[in-house]
Amino acid sequence: MKKALGLACGLLLLFAAGCATNQVDAVDEARFNQLETKVEALERRVGNISVNVDNLRSETKELREESAKARECSANAREIAEKALLKAEECLDRQEKAFELQQMK
């Protein structure tokens, strides 16, 4: 009888240990799934950030190209303005000479 009772207690302890192990496994599985979900969410965020960085690089490149074009246009406009100023000065010189010639007559 003592052996049967001891055997029954041993089996009960073994069953309880098995149940506890199953519970620990279930908790571990739940934690793993939760962490996996967080990792997937972080991977999506990193992917989005990567796309945003690529977009910003593209926009930066476009802005640099536009800036270079604007500088070129500005240089061209300055050159045209300087030429116009020289022409205006030449014209003014001619008018002054013409006025002086008229005064002499």
Q: Is the entire prediction scored with pTM above 0.85?
A: no
Distance CA 56, CA 70 (A): 20
The three-state secondary structure class of 24 is helix
Distance CA 23, CA 33 (A): 15
Q: Which tens digits make up the pLDDT trace of 22-48?
A: 777 777 888 899 999 999 999 999 999
The residue to which tokens 């406009």 are assigned: 77
Q: Which tens digits make up the pLDDT trace of 87-103?
A: 999 999 999 998 888 88
